[in-house]
Amino acid sequence: MITAIAGGVGAARMLRGLVSVVPAEDVTAVVNTGDDIVLHGLHISPDLDTVTYTLASAIDPVQGWGLEGETWNAMEALDRFGGQTWFRLGDRDLATHLYRTQRLSEGAGLGDVTDEIVRAWGLRLRVLPMTNERVETRVTLAADGTEVGFQEYFVGERHSVPVRSIRFHGIEQAAPAPGVLDAIAAADRVVVCPSNPIVSIGPVLAVPGILDAIAARRDDVVAISPIIAGAALKGPADRMLVELGHEPSVLGVARLYAPFASTLLIDVADEALAGAVAAEGVRPVVVPTIMRDAETSAALARAVLAAYS
Amino acid sequence: MITAIAGGVGAARMLRGLVSVVPAEDVTAVVNTGDDIVLHGLHISPDLDTVTYTLASAIDPVQGWGLEGETWNAMEALDRFGGQTWFRLGDRDLATHLYRTQRLSEGAGLGDVTDEIVRAWGLRLRVLPMTNERVETRVTLAADGTEVGFQEYFVGERHSVPVRSIRFHGIEQAAPAPGVLDAIAAADRVVVCPSNPIVSIGPVLAVPGILDAIAARRDDVVAISPIIAGAALKGPADRMLVELGHEPSVLGVARLYAPFASTLLIDVADEALAGAVAAEGVRPVVVPTIMRDAETSAALARAVLAAYS
Predicted pLDDT at A259: 98
Alpha-carbon span A5 to A135, nearest angstrom: 17
Query: What number of residues does chain B have?
Result: 309
ipTM field: 0.92
Alpha-carbon span B253 to B256, nearest angstrom: 5
Predicted pLDDT at B66: 95
Q: Do A92 and B82 touch (CB under 8 A)?
A: no
Shortest CB distance from A74 goes to which of B78, B81, B98?
B98
Nearest CA to B268 among B290, B298, B291, B296? Answer: B290
Half-sphere exposure of residue B128, counting CA atoms within 13 Å on the CB side?
21
pTM recorded for the entire structure: 0.94
Predicted pLDDT at A224: 98
| DSSP label of B290 | -
Phi, psi values for residue B283, rounded to 5°: -75, 120
Predicted pLDDT at A234: 85
Average pLDDT over residues B190-202: 97
Q: What angle do CA B1, B6, B11 make, to 5 degrees?
A: 95
Pairing relationship of beta strands A231-232 and A227-228 according to DSSP bridges = antiparallel
How many CB atoms lie under 10 A from the CB of residue B84?
17
Alpha-carbon span A244 to B152, nearest angstrom: 53
Q: Do A102 and B39 touch (CB under 8 A)?
A: yes
Predicted pLDDT at A308: 86
Alpha-carbon span A30 to A278, nearest angstrom: 27
Alpha-carbon span A14 to A300, nearest angstrom: 7
CB of B94 less than 8 A from some CB of A: yes
Instruction: Tell me the β-bridge partners of A138.
Output: A149, A167
Average pLDDT over residues B84-100: 97
Q: What is the 3-state secondary structure (H, E, C) of chain A?
A: CEEEEECCHHHHHHHHHHHHHCCHHHEEEEECCCCCEEECCEEECHHHHHHHHHHCCCECCCCCCCECCCCCHHHHHHHHCCCCCCCCCCHHHHHHHHHHHHHHHCCCCHHHHHHHHHHHCCCCCEEEECECCCCEEEEEECCCCCEEEHHHHHHHCCCCCCEEEEEEECHHHCCECCCHHHHHHHCCEEEECCCCHHHHHHHHHHCCCHHHHHHCCHHHEEEECCEECCEECCCCHHHHHHHCCCCCCHHHHHHHHCCCCCEEEEEHHHHHHHHHHHHCCCEEEEECCCCCCHHHHHHHHHHHHHCCC
Q: Name every chain B residue with its beta carbon within 8 A of the beta carbon of A83.
A: 95, 98-99, 102
Cα distances (Å, whole numbers) of residue A33 to A36, A43, A135, A214: 5, 11, 7, 18
Pairing relationship of beta strands A147-149 and A136-141 according to DSSP bridges = antiparallel
Q: Do B41 and A98 touch (CB under 8 A)?
A: yes
Gyration radius from chain A CA atoms:
18
Q: Do B91 and A101 touch (CB under 8 A)?
A: no
Shortest CB distance from A83 goes to which of B38, B92, B99?
B99
Which of B45, B72, B98, B121 should we substitute to test contact with A (largest number of A Cβ atoms within 10 Å)?
Answer: B98
> Residue B135 corresponds to which amino acid?
V
At the topology level, CATH places domain A2-38+48-58+114-134+175-306 in Rossmann fold (3.40.50)
Predicted pLDDT at B308: 86
pLDDT at residue B26 greater than cutoff 80 = yes
Predicted pLDDT at B157: 87
CB of B71 less than 8 A from some CB of A: yes
Shortest CB distance from B92 goes to which of A39, A73, A82?
A73
Q: Are A95 and B75 in contact (CB under 8 A)?
A: yes
At the topology level, CATH places domain B2-35+111-134+172-306 in Rossmann fold (3.40.50)
pLDDT at residue B309 greater than cutoff 80 = no
CB of A74 less than 8 A from some CB of B: yes
Alpha-carbon span A304 to A225, nearest angstrom: 12
Q: Extract the residue ranges of chain A whose pLDDT is less than 70.
A: none
Predicted pLDDT at A59: 96
Predicted pLDDT at B62: 87
Predicted pLDDT at A126: 98
pLDDT per position as a tens digit, A219-260: 999 999 999 999 998 889 999 999 999 999 999 999 999 999
Cα distances (Å, whole numbers) of residue A47 to A33, A58, A116, A182: 7, 14, 16, 21
pLDDT per position as a tens digit, B125-168: 999 999 999 999 999 999 999 999 999 999 988 899 999 999 99
pLDDT at residue B39 greater than cutoff 90 = yes
Q: Do B120 and A81 touch (CB under 8 A)?
A: yes
Q: Name every chain B residue with its beta carbon within 8 A of the beta carbon of A96.
A: 77, 81
pLDDT per position as a tens digit, B231-288: 998 889 999 999 999 999 999 999 999 999 999 999 999 999 999 999 999 999 999 9
> Residue B299 corresponds to which amino acid?
A
